[in-house]
Structure 1
Amino acid sequence: MKTQVDFQPVLLGTDFNCYGMARSFYHEYGIKSIAFGVMHMAPTRYTKLVDVRVVEGFNSNPVFMETLTAFAKTMDPNKKYLLLSCGDGYTELISEHLTELKQWFVCPYVDNELFKRLGSKETFYAAAEEYGLPYPKTKLISREMVERGEKIELPFDFPVALKPSDSIAWLDVDFEGRKKAFILDSRQQFDELLPKIYQAGYTGKMICQDFIPGDDSNMRVVNAYVDSDHHVRMISLGHPLLEDPSPAAVGNYMVILPEKNDQIYQTIQKFLEEIKYVGFADFDLKYDRRDDTYKVFEINLRQGRSSFYCTLNGYNLAKYVVEDVIYHQPFTETEYADGDQLWLGVPKKIFYQYAKESEYKDRAVKLLKAGKYGTTAFDKDDTLKQRMLMHYAFYLMPGNYKKYFVQR
């Protein structure tokens, strides 16, 4: 743990992502983070690692800027204040107000122009095409196409994946059967779902993609930190073995096995450096056995919800951003992560029961038996009340899997 503390982390959000980043700062620098959000959430409800400040309407303007402007007036002039987003909506707000926020905060984020290019799946795939980043076959669907009632021809067979291009706008859309993303097995399901989506008020485009076959163990996740001069300082690959099956959180990783793959590392690093990226980035990929390729689904312009797997494996996320933008330590070389700690977001019994049998599961079981595992949720230095709350949350998880889990 470093003893020099002349900065203050300010986190936006109060969820698991926030708690994971707060743990990273606490264990690297012995520092308590400040977090702003719209509500108290279980991962940070009773923690002593974060000073949570709840502000109604903070996730939109004008409250967002009013709150941070007022906070800036109270800041210690002898400290640097590091502003980090823990959610897509907050990342968008930072990028919109980047110039103004930089008056008071250190903000390692891309400008609004690059955010708009990468933040929407539609424009991200155009960038992926330009820079040679493999992605699934894709069909864009607009509200106008659906409202005209035209038959939408797809250049691939069912099953297909269907998801919103604008994941931030999707957060405000609600209808029976709503999910974060859909896997559709038939034309009938496809034709019935699209009108419901637009009748519910969503106005953006939908992304329909060729479904890459295989279960959760074919997924990969990459987290990286890119410094102010566009050098990738750290890149870490995780191999998800299980995802959250509940509709609102489908696709969230719940078990991650550390892995190293030079091909993936070089492909992602090349893309980030050529596009002049800055800050944390989180990629979701899936292995396509049909052409032996890892294909990218999306980029999140922040660290991932499960990114504490990096810190758990010895690659503390806080260290890279602080060394870059707080202490201005020069870039020397890229660290390619290669750890041996299994990350769990569920109780072990759920992993044993629901993760598909494979050589990767066998490796994960060996790590569990050797005691080489950890989770974002339980910090030994945190309050008993916080740890008990998270034990209760873990206790409730089997019900979700029993209700929603489908093996593919």
Structure 2
Amino acid sequence: MVFLMKRNDIQPVILGGDMSTYSLAREFYEAFGVTSVVIGMDAISVIKKSRFVRMHIVENNGQASVEAAICQIAGQAAGKKVLVIANTDDRVELIENIQDRLPANVVCPLPPHDLMSEVSDKVRFQQLCESYGLDVPQTQIVSLAGSDPIEPTNIPFPLIAKPAASSEYNHFIAQGFQKIYFMHEQAELDRLWAALREAGFGGEFLVQELIEGDDTYMDSLTIYMSREGKATMLSGAHVLLEDHAPTLFGNPVAMITKPMPDLWEKAVRLLEGIGWYGFANIDIKRDPKTGRKLFLDLNPRVGANSFYSAAAGVNPMYVLVRDVIDGDGATQHRIDKNVLYHRVPVSLARRYVRDPELLAHFDAVVAAGQVANPSRCKADTAGSRFAGLLMEKNFIRKFAKFYPEPTDTSF
């Protein structure tokens, strides 16, 4: 295999164990020919059977266990830079809490805490978008604190309801609450408020206008801002299909990569304005009625589907290492081709594309062989690839249960 820059002076360490963890390890391997160490209590079979991942099992995912693991790995790699990353809110927070106690050869590339908290709050993100001239949906902020009655919303039904800050809400998902709610009437909304308060949630929720259009009206941007304040990675994709399982709702599972210069320009203007550093993964929806491009939220990390960028020619881990290890924070990399990124079977993704022009484009990209699945790495073991194939096929059952046919609202 030809690597972008074969090297032996770095040791990637990834906190996690899911498919996004594997994608990061694959990106490190394809960029530098290195094996990543994955820290966790367990991991999916795609990771455990991989030739470019070494598992470091911990008894629990608490700070003490993870800190001890990183220190041990750093000691074993004394002549290398140990790059510690994560791709979920809780583990990013964990790294932030322990980074000052880690050995000198450990690098933790995190955005500034205050900025990360600010953009993770969907209320504040909306305010930032408006101040930089970016369009956002009509939104009402509802506080669940206290016991005072909550006034009926003035946003027309049907509408969307979702938590303002994921960090305050994640453990409620484990109790059966959803990431996003589609509400038809006030009575449904009132029942949700009562259930959340009974469960002990006292944070803020957003009640938001419903932007119609199925999953194919979504766009995804992944941008990297260097320590010099430059946009050194610009990636984008036209979403075709999102996960519809309640706890994973909205995560893209099929996309076609494409240059998005107008959206890149708008997003970079905001990121430069607030002094952002690191990865930013931004969700945008196009309103089929008005043509508006509405900025929905910003995830302060590379995102679960980072491999779409690597498939289109810009490897996120290469860009990261060139900045934080090598000090190249000026060279810009932007995708310039169409690739079908998919985690579901290609035939399943195709079934949800209803627009004839988009379907023709889909078929042309597939016919040209421009297709990529993060779990189908030719350089990896047959066992890892087979485990990935089983995960891909499992989506057939999931979509039959949660989203058997496309709808005009994606709900």
Aligned-pair CA distance for 1:227: 0.8
Alignment of 1:180-329 (within 5 A): 180-329=179-328
CA contact (8 A) 1:18 1:86 kept: yes
Aligned-pair CA distance for 1:165: 1.7
Q: Deviations over 1:225-275 (max 9, x none)?
A: 111111110111111011111111110101101122221010011111121
Aligned-pair CA distance for 1:221: 0.4
CA contact (8 A) 2:344 2:393 kept: no
> Is 1:366 matched with 2:364?
yes
Which piece of structure 1 moves more, 306-315 or 379-388? 379-388
**Separation (CA, whole Å) in 2 of partners of 1:397 and 1:295:** 28
SS in 2 for 1:223: strand
What RMSD in Å do the two structures reach over aligned CA positions? Answer: 2.1
Aligned-pair CA distance for 1:330: 4.9
Instruction: Name the residue aligned to 1:351.
Output: 349
Aligned-pair CA distance for 1:62: 4.1
> Is 1:61 matched with 2:59?
no
Q: Which amino acid aligns with 1:127?
A: L
Instruction: Name the residue aligned to 1:26.
Output: 29
**Separation (CA, whole Å) in 1 of partners of 2:95 and 2:173:** 26
CA 164–42 in structure 1, closer or farther in 2 if over 3 Å, else same: farther
**Separation (CA, whole Å) in 1 of partners of 2:51 and 2:224:** 27
Aligned-pair CA distance for 1:97: 4.1
Alignment of 1:129-148 (within 5 A): 129-144=130-145, 147-148=147-148
SS in 2 for 1:388: helix
SS in 1 for 2:38: strand
CA contact (8 A) 2:145 2:203 kept: no
Structure 2: segments with no counterpart, 5+ residues: none
Instruction: Name the residue aligned to 1:401.
Output: 399
> Is 1:52 matched with 2:55?
yes
Which piece of structure 1 moves more, 136-145 or 171-180? 171-180
Aligned-pair CA distance for 1:184: 1.4
CA contact (8 A) 1:174 1:200 kept: no
**Separation (CA, whole Å) in 1 of partners of 2:278 and 2:174:** 35
Aligned-pair CA distance for 1:101: 4.5
Q: Deviations over 1:150-177 (max 9, x none)?
A: 32333x2111111112213322115776
SS in 2 for 1:206: strand
Instruction: Name the residue aligned to 2:111.
Output: 110
SS in 2 for 1:116: helix
Q: Which amino acid aligns with 1:94?
A: I
Which piece of structure 1 moves more, 367-376 or 215-224? 367-376
Q: Deviations over 1:47-86 (max 9, x none)?
A: 122112232331x4344434434444x2423211111112
CA contact (8 A) 2:11 2:77 kept: no
CA contact (8 A) 2:153 2:186 kept: no
Which piece of structure 1 moves more, 36-45 or 217-226? 36-45
Aligned-pair CA distance for 1:290: 4.1
> Is 1:380 matched with 2:378?
yes
CA contact (8 A) 1:86 1:302 kept: yes
CA 174–320 in structure 1, closer or farther in 2 if over 3 Å, else same: closer
**Separation (CA, whole Å) in 2 of partners of 1:341 and 1:293:** 25
Q: Deviations over 1:126-157 (max 9, x none)?
A: 33233333221111111136x32232333x21
Q: Deviations over 1:203-226 (max 9, x none)?
A: 321111111111101100000111
Instruction: Name the residue aligned to 2:165.
Output: 166
**Separation (CA, whole Å) in 2 of partners of 1:369 and 1:215:** 24
CA contact (8 A) 1:101 1:107 kept: no
CA contact (8 A) 1:254 1:344 kept: yes
CA contact (8 A) 1:244 1:251 kept: yes
Aligned-pair CA distance for 1:303: 0.7
> Is 1:121 matched with 2:122?
yes
CA contact (8 A) 1:39 1:56 kept: no
Aligned-pair CA distance for 1:288: 2.0
CA 330–278 in structure 1, closer or farther in 2 if over 3 Å, else same: closer
Q: Which amino acid aligns with 2:144?
A: R
Q: Which amino acid aligns with 1:124?
A: F
Scaled by the length of structure 1, the TM-score of the pair is: 0.92
CA 29–176 in structure 1, closer or farther in 2 if over 3 Å, else same: closer
**Separation (CA, whole Å) in 1 of partners of 2:137 and 2:12:** 37
CA contact (8 A) 2:112 2:277 kept: no
CA contact (8 A) 2:121 2:165 kept: yes
CA 51–111 in structure 1, closer or farther in 2 if over 3 Å, else same: same
